[in-house]
Amino acid sequence: MNEQMKTTGRLLIDENMAKYTSWRVGGNAEKMYLPHDKADLVLYIKTLSSETPVFWLGLGSNLLVRDGGISGVVINTRGRLKKMTLQDEGVVYVEAGMSCARVARFCVDNGLVGAEFLAGIPGTMGGALKMNAGAFGSETWDIVKSVEMLNRNGETYFSTENDFKISYRSVKPLKDEWFISVQLKLKQGDSSHSLQKIKELLKKRAETQPVNVPTCGSVFKNPTGDYAARLIESSGLKGYQIGGACVSKKHANFIVNSDKAKASDIEALIKHVQDEVNRQQKIVLETEVCKVGAYL
């Protein structure tokens, strides 16, 4: 099918993924589609064969694209699936491409509390839903009323948390179906208090995390009863470097692109950290970051 005749979005060929990821690394996407809106996205998905690999991209945080790039099509939702409205009392409708930070501010502006933690998540709502992203002790699915899904056939339908297995930084099953919007259920509250809470959370983030350099956010999940950062620091790995990738000296659960790193540098450093923590602490660190694409 002729994708461009049937749709109103933009189709890019052989697009450099390093421009779209917060680590600023990665090979090229075979194709990248920038949907005009949700209806256009549904139409585009219908044009794809069932064999075409599909990968969804939001803000490009929590993502390592390997140097060999991504085959198939990357759906870029950033700044595109961006509708956000107040529905029933306490219910906010948000499309998947909206940044979590803007959602947090919108809720505060409408006198709703419970979504302040989203200000600390450097991603979109689609990504937050996919991985049950969290910050400062709260998690995305704590405030979800329902989600709108899209499958390979271009069908849309609504689901609730009962349709998934939701745990710490994990949501299953999700095979050939994707989040395109969400209804958040929140409570009325003191907006001034919420705004102050957001400011405090962002201040804490700036003080404790490397926010002005290329990173992906937290690389590893916290083991039960412990913190990945503590284990990494205790293993003497703060500042450890492979190629242009370095374990942050400010927060050990962050890996920074300090000097024109390649994705292979970052992946090698991730493995080294896992191996050393396992050797010294007898704990296997699991990654939060999503690794996709081919090796060179």
Active site residue ranges: 169, 218, 288
Question: Which residues in 97-128 are b (16+ Cβ under 10 Å) and which e?
Answer: bbbbbbbbbbbbeebbbbbbbbbbbbbbbbbb
Closest of 71, 80, 182 to residue 129, by C-alpha:
182
Distance CA(212)–CA(267), nearest Å, equals 21
**Structure tokens belonging to residue 11:** 């189709």
- Say which amino acid occupies 135: A
Which residue, 292, 135, 123, is CA-closest to 205? Answer: 135
Angle between helices 191-208 and 100-109 (to 10 degrees): 150
Q: Give 276: exposed, middle or buried? Use CB within 10 Å, 0-12, 13-18, 19+.
A: middle
Closest listed residue to residue 63, CA positions, set 295, 271, 287: 287
Backbone angles phi, psi at 239, to 5 degrees: 85, -5
The tokens for 28 are 């090229």
Residue 23 · residue 1 · CB < 8 Å: no
**Assigned token pair, 64:** 């390592």
Who contacts 169 (Cβ-Cβ below 8 Å, separation ≥6)? 131, 132, 133, 134, 221, 288
- Tell me the residue length of the chain: 296
Contacts of residue 234, Cβ cutoff 8 Å, sequence gap at least 6: 280, 281
